[in-house]
Amino acid sequence: MRYRYLLFIAFLLPAFVFRDYTPDNELRYISIIEEALRNNTWFTFFNHGEIYADKPPLYFWLLMFVRMVFGSCPLWAAGLFSLLPAVGILAVMDRWMRSEGRGHNPLVSETMLMSTGMFLGSALVLRMDMLMAFFIVLSLYTFFRMYRGTGRPSDRWLFPVWIFLAVFTKGPMGFLIPLVSVTVFLLFQKKIRTFGRYLGWKQWAILLGLCAAWFLLIYLEGGKEYLNNILFKQTVGRGINSFHHKEPFWYYLQHLPLTFAPWSLLYVAVLGIAAWKRRFTSETERFFLTVIVANFVLLSFISSKLDIYLLPVYPFVAYLTSMQLDRQGATLVSKICVAAPAAVFFLLFPAFFCFRSMIPFPYENLSMVYVGLAVLSVGGVTALVYLWKNNLNGAITVASLGLLSMVFIASFAIPQFNREIGFRAMAEEGRRIADDTGADSYAFYKFRNAADMDIYLRAPLTEVSSVARLDSLAGGNAATVLFIRNREVRREPELETWLGKRKALETVGDYRIYLIGGGF
């Protein structure tokens, strides 16, 4: 089984090896940890001098560790802190199933979960959500062992520690998801009076003590303002009336078909039939169902919403479905639900060729993309053959492995897309221009996260937010390398007029690089 975990890492690691940092979160995180290391701050974080209390420190510490070991922060090394927690979740869930003696096919459960859209996507980006999900799964597994009387004496102390580590990774959800899961489950089992066995005063003392120590260190390092920001703005503010990612109650319901793809129909059909026929008979199944439903409702009520916030629920959906598949067998409904994505996989390769002329790819070498799609197509048609032979588990496994194989193979085509993915190529061109011309400063016009290019340029960037400010820079004695996004040029006629006959020295993806001021 351990070989399968290594295989999953091998499938996905190349996507980190060949890819540039994305600007939205990844590049920002690297800029933040670089600033923290320069300032020698470990509990308070800043992004270009502004408070960044959005996230607790554990994940940043791991990135800082990578930075100190390698002297930089290579994406493949940082990416291990997404891949390893994903594989860790598989290991915990597999062990959970073995200890409970539950009927399920571990290969089906693992491949189905790893190929589920949002879970797969979360394993392929630098975010702390997968690490938090790992600690949440570990905490719920620890609780259930205590509940069933199969745990070790240390579990009563580890339970609050896992919850704290989940909080220390991402924030309040690391506490609320285990708490809601345990409370609702005990209520439905009519055992709420036993709550103190799992979270008694000793466990609360550990949890609150660790949090108090963390908050004290924040106060000592960052003061009252930072502490207030992380305790109130980032918790109460986001939960009740979010200033960020505010969405309506039904947000997750709308997004389920895409985020749970390609197995959305299968999950809904199998679990829906099981609920209708009341087939959640074991305590394990009822606990998994409680985790899914209770936290879906909880996250729907919270004001701030992103698809990735639902990530801790995904393992329970996949493994509960696998248990029900073992019980229900290859029904007509389940075969149709697997045949649909398998047929799509099969058709993607010929469809890509048929509509190739309609897709504006400015890239010459797409051979690895073709090979990846061909492998996915083979996986799809093989899954259809398995279904024809009434082998549902085989169909799910081969279709999932086909998708993961496609990700592995297509990863080798990523370098030619990096000019559109990240800022590295643009920054390198800007730095070359500065070296050739003697320009001593960098600026950008409005677009988000451009300031985080400082990790490539090794120099700060100035944000320019108006054409008047551009005039000021252009009339100055110092030469400035200016980065402008084409979108701003299209949106602002005044900017387009100002650029006039100025010629961009370089065009990188959707961005232009100009040299202004200093006689240029």
Judgement on whether residues 85 and 174 belong to the same structural domain of the protein: yes
Judgement on whether residues 207 and 173 belong to the same structural domain of the protein: yes
Asked, for residue 274, whether it belongs to a domain, the answer is no
Q: Which of 386, 419, 452 is the last residue of a domain?
A: 419
The per-residue pLDDT for range 441-493, each reduced to its tens digit, is: 999 998 889 999 999 999 999 999 999 999 888 888 889 999 999 999 999 99
Judgement on whether residues 225 and 337 belong to the same structural domain of the protein: no
Asked, for residue 442, whether it belongs to a domain, the answer is yes
User: Which amino acid appears at position 483 of this protein?
Assistant: F
- Residues 450 and 31 sit within 8 Å (Cβ to Cβ): no
Q: What is the pLDDT of residue 239?
A: 46
**3-state secondary structure (DSSP) of residue 142:** helix
Asked, for residue 320, whether it belongs to a domain, the answer is no
- Residues 93 and 308 sit within 8 Å (Cβ to Cβ): no
Judgement on whether residues 229 and 172 belong to the same structural domain of the protein: yes
pLDDT at 104 over 90: no
Judgement on whether residues 481 and 372 belong to the same structural domain of the protein: no
Judgement on whether residues 69 and 187 belong to the same structural domain of the protein: yes
- What's the pLDDT band for 22 if we cut at 50, 70, 90? very high
Asked, for residue 361, whether it belongs to a domain, the answer is yes
Q: Which of 419, 447, 482 is the last residue of a domain?
A: 419
Which range, of 47-56, 87-96, 183-192, 358-367, averages the lowest pLDDT? 358-367
How many domains are contained in the chain?
3
Asked, for residue 376, whether it belongs to a domain, the answer is yes
Judgement on whether residues 342 and 364 belong to the same structural domain of the protein: yes
Q: How many helices (H) and strands (E) does the chain have?
A: 26, 7
| 451 vs 427: CA distance, rounded Å | 11
Which residues, in sequence order, are CB contacts of 383 under 8 Å at separation 6+?
Answer: 338, 339, 342, 345, 394, 395, 396, 398, 399, 402
Asked, for residue 507, whether it belongs to a domain, the answer is yes
Judgement on whether residues 211 and 139 belong to the same structural domain of the protein: yes
pLDDT at 362 over 70: no
Asked, for residue 11, whether it belongs to a domain, the answer is yes
Which range, of 56-70, 198-212, 223-237, averages the lowest pLDDT? 223-237
pLDDT at 84 over 90: yes
Which range, of 80-84, 136-140, 297-301, averages the lowest pLDDT? 297-301
Judgement on whether residues 112 and 6 belong to the same structural domain of the protein: yes
For 33-62, what is the mean pLDDT? 93
Judgement on whether residues 361 and 498 belong to the same structural domain of the protein: no
Task: Give yes or no for a cis peptide into 262 (omega within 30° of 0).
Answer: yes
The 10 Å Cβ neighbour count of residue 332 is 7
Judgement on whether residues 396 and 459 belong to the same structural domain of the protein: no
Q: What is the pLDDT of residue 335?
A: 95
pLDDT at 412 over 70: yes
Q: What is the pLDDT of residue 339?
A: 97
Q: What percent of the chain has pLDDT over 90?
A: 71
Asked, for residue 252, whether it belongs to a domain, the answer is no
For 165-192, what is the mean pLDDT? 95
Domain with 47, as residue range(s), is 2-243
For 328-357, what is the mean pLDDT? 89
Q: Which of 243, 272, 299 is the last residue of a domain?
A: 243
Compute the C-alpha angle 8/9/10, nearest 5°.
90
| Nearest in space to 79 (alpha carbons), one of 90, 71, 87 | 87
Judgement on whether residues 81 and 215 belong to the same structural domain of the protein: yes
